[in-house]
Amino acid sequence: MIGYDDRTALVVVDLQNDFADPAGSLAVRGGDEIIGRVNDQVAQAREAGAAVFYSQDWHPETTPHFAKDGGIWPVHCVAGTWGAELHPALRVEGERIRKGIGGEDGYSAFTVRDPVSGEESPTALVAMLAQRHAERVVVCGLATDYCVRGTALDARRLGFETVLLTDAVAAVDLRPDDGERALAEMEAAGVTLG
Ligand code: VGL
Ligand code: ZN
């Protein structure tokens, strides 16, 4: 049990059709199986007055993030498409943060990176958390080895007490054990595995 309060925010990372639906273009194995546990966390958070935020990978049709344009990923989460929508079974009771809108790269819900200059800039999430005087961030969603990892590491770097819900995440595992390695890296950075 997390013990949510009004200084805690739950961040649900990229629980979108392309990652969470088995028919999605970048389907994460077990991605749809975490939704029930994520919904339980959303319910607990809201009952305790904690804010819930939902990040969405939100790419243009052409971006160096995609393999066809020089990156590594199949086309996924293109703005306005079915694949970019939050999974229909997800309980949505908070604001959405869309990232990558201008073709930026980067995986965290807190920062995006210009693919040419490498320059990083913050998303709206930092200001939203500051406005609520949040001190603690609880992270779940997809995928453990990319956007969940980036989000949890950034939350620590920004000074939040950070908890990662290990039974409400799933990994891409491009290489076997990427998810396990990401968990170890997050823990070493001071993220509490809950
Ligand atoms: C993600 C790969 C590419 C993620 C986003 O949400 O973890 N992974 N884009
Ligand atoms: Zn992406």
CA distance 48 to 126: 21
Structure tokens at 148: 């969940």
Determine the distance separating the centroid of ligand 2 and the alpha carbon of 3, expressed in angstroms: 31
Predicted TM-score (pTM) of the model is 0.97
Q: Give, for ligand 1, the residue of 11, 12, 13, 14 to mutate: max count of ligand atoms closer than 8 Å to Cβ.
A: 14
The catalytic residue positions are: 14, 99, 147
Ion ligand 2 — residues with CB under 5 Å?
57
pLDDT one-digit tens code per residue, 153-179: 999 999 999 999 999 999 999 999 999
The dihedrals phi and psi of 54, each to the nearest 5 degrees, come to: -125, 115
Tell me which residues have their CB closer than 6 angstroms to ligand 1: 14, 19, 57, 73, 107, 142-143, 146-147
Determine the distance separating the centroid of ligand 2 and the alpha carbon of 162, expressed in angstroms: 23
Determine the distance separating the centroid of ligand 1 and the alpha carbon of 28, expressed in angstroms: 10
Q: Give, for ligand 1, the residue of 13, 18, 26, 63 to mutate: max count of ligand atoms closer than 8 Å to Cβ.
A: 26
pLDDT one-digit tens code per residue, 11-67: 999 999 999 999 999 999 999 999 999 999 999 999 999 999 999 999 999 998 999
Which atom of ligand 1 lies at the shortest distance from residue 149's CA? 7
CA dihedral 107, 105, 24, 138 (to 10 degrees): 20
pLDDT one-digit tens code per residue, 53-103: 999 999 999 998 999 999 999 999 999 999 999 999 999 999 999 998 888
Structural domains in the chain plus CATH codes: 8-193 (3.40.50.850)
